Amino acid sequence: QSVLTQPPSVSGAPGQRVTISCTGSSSNIGAGYDVHWYQQLPGTAPKLLIYGNTNRPSGVPDRFSGSKSGTSASLAITGLQAEDEADYYCQSYDSSLSGWVFGGGTKLTVL
Amino acid sequence: EVQLVESGGGLVQPGGSLRLSCAASGFTFSNYWMHWVRQVPGKGLVWVSRINSDGSSTSYADSVRGRFTISRDNAKNTLYLQMNSLRAEDTAVYYCARVTYYYDSSGYTAVYYFDHWGQGTLVTVSS
């Protein structure tokens, strides 16, 4: 069971908008620790998608955006494309565990 | 171009040992903290361990503390993970990852995120 909670799956049609939630607690997201997001395409290593809640590394399309409020964070993907089909993970730091924590991952299916 | 290449994975019996390596190139290795993250095939990512830039400070997940040791050789641009007393539940793909940091809004707390990952090496613990 992961410290950060994500829905196991989400889906959307090409062109649509989807959001993926990431819920934590008072020892991680709620304590003010920033949230980062990673995309893992099938059979590949994770890739940084969003850092510091809202920032995109160079090369990441602006279709991807992040937000954080209270003990939760969200990743939004607009204008869904077939190539977005992947697993998405949120990540933060947990002061009770004194370690880095991930969500359980969300599988995005483009219908 | 940043490159991280893991090696050393394989099949090992329960109770056995294995040492993973991660060869880094394309950046000044000695300037960066490094981590190991693992993933059971078909499951999620789990943080394992981290080491600071000069190797003087380390930390571990509870599940591996006392059995795994992270280290680095900055002269060889290589990160290591020595895994002892291996258990079936240690079976996973092990990724090395570089972290980059910034300071949060307070200006006092460094925030680390994984900006580059290796391709992973599979460790299978089975008799």
User: Rounded distance, CA A28 to CA A41, Å?
Assistant: 26
Residue B8 identity = G
User: Rounded distance, CA A108 to CA B18, Å?
Assistant: 35
Please name the residues in contact with B40: beta carbons below 8 A apart, sequence gap of 6 or more.
B46, B91, B92, B93
Strands (E), chain A: 9-12, 18-23, 36-40, 47-50, 64-69, 72-77, 86-94, 99-102, 106-110
Does A105 sit within 8 Å of B113, measured CB to CB? Answer: no
Q: How confident is the model at residue A1 (pLDDT cuts 50, 70, 90)?
A: confident
Q: Tens digit of pLDDT for each residue in A11-30?
A: 999 999 999 999 999 999 99
Please name the residues in contact with A11: beta carbons below 8 A apart, sequence gap of 6 or more.
A18, A108, A109, A110, A111
Q: How confident is the model at residue B107 (pLDDT cuts 50, 70, 90)?
A: confident
Select from B61, B111, B119 the Cβ nearest to the Cβ of A34: B111
B111 contact residues in A (CB cutoff 8 A):
33-34, 52, 93
Check residue B12 and give its pLDDT.
98
Mean pLDDT estimate for chain A:
96
Check residue B106 and give its pLDDT.
82
Check residue B110 and give its pLDDT.
86
User: Rounded distance, CA B6 to CA B19, Å?
Assistant: 11
Q: How confident is the model at residue A67 (pLDDT cuts 50, 70, 90)?
A: very high
Check residue B108 and give its pLDDT.
84
> In the numeric block, which tokens belong to residue B118?
């290796």
User: Rounded distance, CA B70 to CA B79, Å?
Assistant: 8
Select from A45, A100, A104 the Cβ nearest to the Cβ of B117: A45
Of B37, B8, B21, B40, whose CA–CA distance to B115 is shortest? B37
Q: How confident is the model at residue B104 (pLDDT cuts 50, 70, 90)?
A: confident
Mean pLDDT estimate for chain B:
96
Please name the residues in contact with A105: beta carbons below 8 A apart, sequence gap of 6 or more.
A6, A8, A40, A87, A88, A89, B43, B44, B45
Q: Tens digit of pLDDT for each residue in B35-80?
A: 999 999 999 999 999 999 999 999 999 999 999 999 999 999 999 9
Does B111 sit within 8 Å of A93, measured CB to CB? Answer: yes
Mean pLDDT over residues B25-42, rounded? 97
